[in-house]
């Protein structure tokens, strides 16, 4: 079953910020012509793009902008983003944009956005015109983040003018710009920033601070052990870097669509600190989905771990909830020899381990999933489907408090009394109690609760013909294992309890002789004639 997917590094530009930085974004817009419209939209266009990658929810944030917006621009931009999120609040959550050049204003805006707008944290540029955030003046911002218990996503940004000399040389201007930005430099600069925060003792001051970094950890996972070994000379720091990495840092997959980095990361990073991100619109949602597909097929992680990366870790960290059923594909089920077609949501079917395995075998089918059940009866499968959706099947079972007993409802809602036999015909044309067939199918589909329900309902049946009891008993024996102690015991007790009727039944004699041998019939009659001591035996109803 395709799990819900929450993506965290998904960018947006509010009208006020886009107007202020339109010139700075022109180069990106030239490289990705559709980026401007994709960045400015939090409606139908974005939802359609999310559907291509089966993204259930985006945590949206302003794209990085050189120097960053002013306090007033941040306030207006956050308000505009909050208004857009409200229209699809089950699909979007928000990271605030902060005026990081002004630590005090950043702290106030973060608090306002979390308390008043419902944002789940902030995404901030990696530096403010070359200034990092390890100075004491930034303690106010970090303190508010810790007190609010929200995460700060430290995101790469363009190199400041005083940084560019590192990325110029005997190569083209295009290579220089790329080396300084997404081609290399801004990743290493973000990793360096985390190390600066560690070296400054920030995580000792704020031990519960939560930092998210993207792009598989901005180079850090591959250097953790060396940093741990050498950072002992960095001053009086209470916890080593590995402890900080495990307790304060979360990393996302944003824009790195290879399993090779993950092989390293799984060895030194806790699975519940790995989060999924795409980096929309600069990366395609479809590529993120393809990466999840490759991860599932690789065997590097279990299904549970895949779901943790896809959405569960983000739900826990940010206290958000992915909407249900968005990625629940519609599965076609062809039932019986005549291939009668049913349709059901994959997540509902997957309550049964049998169907979950069948769906998982087609986990990434692009043509739609289909399950063949040639041995099943449409009427029985309809009841099973009703149970999977509603927790019961028709006729419903209810409890009468006055009589302290269970009863079956009629379809019209009344109480079933008197004759209450419900049979179906097997492919061979034999009438069998419907609850018996449901019990056997529930066993096949690994639905023990449905087995118990079917057995209880069967115990409430009355006025059942001898021939039906015998054909149902034979069906039960043919479709349950020798270790079954429920349904088989039910029929033995029922036959023994009704032995006087059976002894008079010519139909029973014909049924038994057809199903076994005269000797078997004689032995059976002898047994019921000499078991007076069990005349009060009751049919199990559990």
Decide if 361 is inside a domain. no
Q: Within this chain, do residues 131 and 207 fall inside the same structural domain, yes or no?
A: yes
Q: Within this chain, do residues 87 and 209 fall inside the same structural domain, yes or no?
A: yes
Q: Within this chain, do residues 312 and 426 fall inside the same structural domain, yes or no?
A: no
Radius of gyration, CA atoms only, the chain: 33
- Give tens-digit pLDDT for 158-170: 888 888 889 999 9
Q: Where are the beta strands (DSSP E) in 304-430?
A: 330-335, 340-345, 370-373, 397-400, 405-408, 423-425
The CATH number of whichever domain residue 160 belongs to comes to 3.20.20.140
Q: How confident is the model at residue 242 (pLDDT cuts 50, 70, 90)?
A: very high
Range of the domain at 125: 6-318
Does residue 346 register a pLDDT over 50? yes
pLDDT attached to residue 471: 78
Q: How confident is the model at residue 522 (pLDDT cuts 50, 70, 90)?
A: very low
Q: Within this chain, do residues 106 and 177 fall inside the same structural domain, yes or no?
A: yes
Which of 318, 333, 357 is the last residue before a domain boundary? 318
Q: Which of 132, 130, 133, 152 is nearest to 67 (CA)?
A: 130
Does residue 207 register a pLDDT over 50? yes
Q: Strand pairing of 274-275 and 340-345?
A: unpaired
Least confident of 42-56, 227-241, 390-404: 390-404
Does residue 401 register a pLDDT over 90? no
Q: Within this chain, do residues 384 and 272 fall inside the same structural domain, yes or no?
A: no
pLDDT attached to residue 517: 40
Helix axes 139-148, 103-117, angle to 10 degrees: 20
Do 487 and 495 touch, CB atoms closer than 8 A?
Answer: no
Return the SS3 of 537: coil
Which of 289, 318, 347 is the last residue before a domain boundary? 318
Q: Within this chain, do residues 314 and 382 fall inside the same structural domain, yes or no?
A: no
Write down the pTM of the prediction.
Answer: 0.65
- Give tens-digit pLDDT for 125-144: 999 999 999 999 999 999 99
Q: Which residues pair with 122 in a beta bridge?
A: 96, 152
User: How high is the mean pLDDT of the chain?
Assistant: 86
Q: How confident is the model at residue 511 (pLDDT cuts 50, 70, 90)?
A: low
Q: Answer left, alpha or beta for residue 219, where phi above 0 means left and psi between -120 and 50 means alpha.
A: left
Decide if 410 is inside a domain. yes
pLDDT attached to residue 516: 54
Distance CA 505, CA 460 (A): 23
Q: Within this chain, do residues 301 and 429 fall inside the same structural domain, yes or no?
A: no
Q: Please give the average per-residue pLDDT across 1-10, as a whole number.
A: 87
Which of 299, 318, 337 is the last residue before a domain boundary? 318
Q: Please give the average per-residue pLDDT across 344-352, as a whole number.
A: 86
pLDDT attached to residue 477: 82
| Overall domain count for the chain | 2
Q: Within this chain, do residues 400 and 306 fall inside the same structural domain, yes or no?
A: no
pLDDT attached to residue 131: 94
Q: Within this chain, do residues 306 and 444 fall inside the same structural domain, yes or no?
A: no
């Amino acid at each position: 079953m395709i799990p819900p997917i929450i993506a965290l590094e998904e960018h947006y530009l509010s009208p006020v910020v886009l107007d202020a930085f339109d010139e700075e974004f022109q180069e990106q817009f030239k490289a990705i012509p559709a980026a401007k419209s994709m960045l400015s939209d939090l409606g139908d266009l974005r939802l359609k793009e999310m559907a291509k990658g089966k993204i259930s929810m985006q945590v949206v944030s302003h794209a990085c902008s050189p120097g960053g917006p002013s306090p007033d621009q941040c306030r207006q931009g956050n308000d505009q983003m909050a208004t857009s999120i409200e229209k699809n609040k089950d699909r979007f959550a928000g990271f605030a944009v902060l005026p990081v050049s002004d630590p005090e204003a950043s702290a106030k805006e973060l608090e306002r956005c979390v308390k008043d707008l419902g944002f789940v944290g902030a995404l901030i540029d990696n530096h403010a015109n070359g200034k990092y955030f390890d100075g004491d003046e930034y303690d106010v911002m970090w303190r508010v983040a810790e007190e609010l218990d929200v995460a700060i996503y430290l995101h790469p940004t363009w190199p400041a003018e005083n940084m560019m000399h590192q990325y110029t040389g005997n190569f083209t201007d295009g290579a220089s710009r790329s080396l300084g930005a997404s081609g290399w430099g801004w990743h290493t600069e973000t990793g360096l920033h985390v190390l600066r925060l560690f070296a400054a003792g920030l995580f000792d001051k704020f031990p519960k601070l939560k930092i998210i970094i993207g792009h598989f950890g901005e180079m850090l996972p591959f250097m953790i052990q060396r940093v741990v070994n050498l950072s002992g000379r960095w001053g009086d720091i209470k916890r080593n870097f590995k402890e900080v990495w495990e307790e304060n840092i979360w990393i996302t997959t944003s824009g790195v669509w290879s399993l090779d980095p993950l092989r390293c990361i799984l060895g030194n990073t806790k699975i519940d600190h790995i989060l999924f991100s795409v980096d929309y619109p600069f990366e395609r949602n479809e590529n993120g989905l393809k990466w999840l597909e490759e991860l599932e097929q690789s065997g590097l992680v279990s299904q549970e771990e895949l779901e943790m990366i896809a959405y569960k870790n983000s739900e826990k960290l940010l206290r958000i909830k992915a909407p249900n059923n968005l990625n629940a594909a519609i599965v076609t089920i062809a039932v019986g020899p005549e291939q009668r077609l049913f349709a059901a949501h994959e997540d509902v079917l997957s309550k049964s381990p049998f169907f979950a395995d069948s769906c998982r075998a087609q986990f990434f089918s692009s043509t739609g999933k289909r399950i063949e059940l040639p041995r099943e009866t449409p009427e029985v499968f309809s009841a099973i489907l009703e149970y999977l959706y509603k927790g019961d099947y028709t006729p419903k079972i209810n409890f009468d408090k006055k009589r302290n007993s269970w009863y079956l409802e009629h379809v019209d809602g009344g109480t079933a009394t008197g004759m209450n036999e419900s049979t179906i015909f097997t492919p061979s044309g034999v009438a069998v109690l419907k609850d018996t067939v449901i019990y056997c199918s529930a066993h096949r589909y690994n639905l023990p609760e449905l087995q118990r329900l079917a057995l209880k309902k069967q115990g409430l049946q009355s006025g059942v013909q001898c021939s039906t009891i015998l054909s149902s008993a034979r069906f039960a024996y043919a479709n349950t294992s020798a270790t079954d102690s429920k349904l088989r015991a039910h029929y033995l007790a029922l036959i023994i309890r009704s032995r006087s009727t059976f002894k008079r039944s010519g139909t029973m004699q014909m049924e038994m002789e057809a199903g076994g041998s005269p000797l078997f019939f004689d032995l059976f009659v002898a047994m019921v004639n000499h078991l007076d001591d069990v005349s009060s035996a009751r049919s199990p109803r559990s």
